Amino acid sequence: MSIADFLVIINDILLRTVSMMYFPRSFLNFTPVCSTTLVLAVAATLISVWLTVAFTLDRFLAICYPNVKAKYCTERTATVIMGIVSVFSCLISVPWYFTMAAEYNIDNIPRGCVFKQVFLNLTSWASFELLTISLMMFVPFFLLLWLNTLTASHVLMSGRVRRGFRGRNTGDNDPEMMNRRKSVVLLFCISGSFLLLWSTEVIHVLSVRVFATPYVNGTDFESVGFMLQVLSTCTNTAIYVLTQSKFREQMKSAAKYPIFLIVKLVKNWNT
């Protein structure tokens, strides 16, 4: 998930937004190139969202069905799911390449990317855009909400049973119960943040496609929706993973590794 989120930042922010705003004459602004970066940005966003759903499903099975944890919650299963999600996301993102047209020409070279009028007017393209948005927001959100609700219910029910065995007065001081309460809070934070950060973009798309509001590229509402959408690719990973001590240890190791390589190269060079 961290790699997928990082790819969203690279493709959607650096290669598309930043390059168009601050480096308009670079090769990244060629129409074929910026059309390709659009495809990559959509694919990376889909991968990020659906890996979050897959991770939530893994947690649901591990917590609510311990018997199947050893069979399905394995590294091999995770690898297969990541491969399926990545391939499917890339395939469904390819049609976005053909929605772009050149904004202007310099020395007979098409530059810039704007939506083709046929894309904005055809019902089939509108349906495809709504399908993409549904796969990015609606379907993942309801799956996350459903899985998190079932997981939270299971944790709360297990907590009541645990308090019954340990005694009513020991529940508040039980470390296991405190960890389970934190887990419930984290589960609902995932659903809430996902809904809030995607709602602006979804409202914008629905207002354009369903209510036929005139499409104005670059409005403040659209910009805010895009900003929150990109931010949503970071919050889920932060909530799920950055709170884990093992992940923090791995991040420290990753940060120290380049320094270790530089020190090793310096020692080899001196010897």
| Closest among 136, 240, 139, 143 to 197, alpha carbons compared | 136
Beta bridge partners of residue 30, listed in sequence order: 111
Q: What percent of the chain has pLDDT over 90?
A: 3
For residue 261, what pLDDT band results from cuts at 50, 70 and 90? confident
Q: Which residues of 209-219 are buried (b: 16+ CB within 10 A; e: fewer)?
A: beeeeeeeeee
Average pLDDT of the residues of the chain: 76
Residues 6+ apart with CB under 8 A from 200: 221, 224, 225, 228, 229
Q: What is the dihedral of CA 188, 192, 195, 199, to 10 degrees?
A: 170
Mean pLDDT for the stretch of residues 131-150: 82
- Quote the CA–CA distance of 183 and 192 in Å, as a whole number: 14
- Quote the CA–CA distance of 99 and 42 in Å, as a whole number: 13
Per-residue pLDDT tens over the stretch 175-205: 656 666 666 676 667 667 777 777 777 777 7
DSSP 153-176: HHHHHHHHHHHHHH-GGGSTT-HH
Full-model pTM? 0.75
Write down the pLDDT at residue 179.
62
Least confident segment among 44-58, 96-110, 220-234: 220-234
Q: Are 46 and 89 in contact (CB under 8 A)?
A: yes
- Quote the CA–CA distance of 226 and 149 in Å, as a whole number: 28
C-alpha to C-alpha distances, 189 to 40, 45, 148, 185, nearest whole angstrom: 28, 20, 10, 6
Q: What percent of the chain has pLDDT over 70?
A: 74
Beta bridge partners of residue 105, listed in sequence order: 110
Could you tell me where the beta strands, DSSP code E, fall in the chain?
Answer: 100-101, 104-106, 109-111, 114-115
Domains and CATH numbers, the chain: 2-246 (1.20.1070.10)
